[in-house]
Structure 1
């Protein structure tokens, strides 16, 4: 199985005492977002817009390929929920100061 990292940084998968490093591929998958106003509320005579974020085009995500999965950002994964080859990192591992240093798993959104 080939794992393609479509994020801008290395991924450290920490499983069974091993640190599997997946370097960035050089391509970053991105999802365009568009805000659409779906209503408003009025407070003290001021109209406050209520928006909904809609996903637009995805850039940098290749077509599915045999024996290949793609690791992307949460936003990209949420924009393509029907792609069963698209994953995010899951179950963060933190150091003594609370910084994320890796993950224990991958997840499908």
Structure 2
């Protein structure tokens, strides 16, 4: 799923910035935040959190793409990638958690 989403998003954005990786990481962070916000058993948490969200996100690829951008001379884009991914990922996790808590009541 990660590869398909990454490729579908990246195909629409021909620039150097890795929008596909950012998309899967922010989406996975949101889903993991939402999962933490609802009461589920440990088996479901492991299956969906570690299994699905862990397989969907790819923070190691984010690191690789950041280094690749920096080495190619696109240091401002590398900085935007690493800071933006961190901030967006944390923000998405918080938003997912808040939404799940609001819905779960």
TM-score tier by shorter-chain length is: under 0.3
Report which of the two has the higher share of helix: 2
| Structure with bigger gyration radius | 1
Normalised by the size of structure 1, how large is the TM-score? 0.23
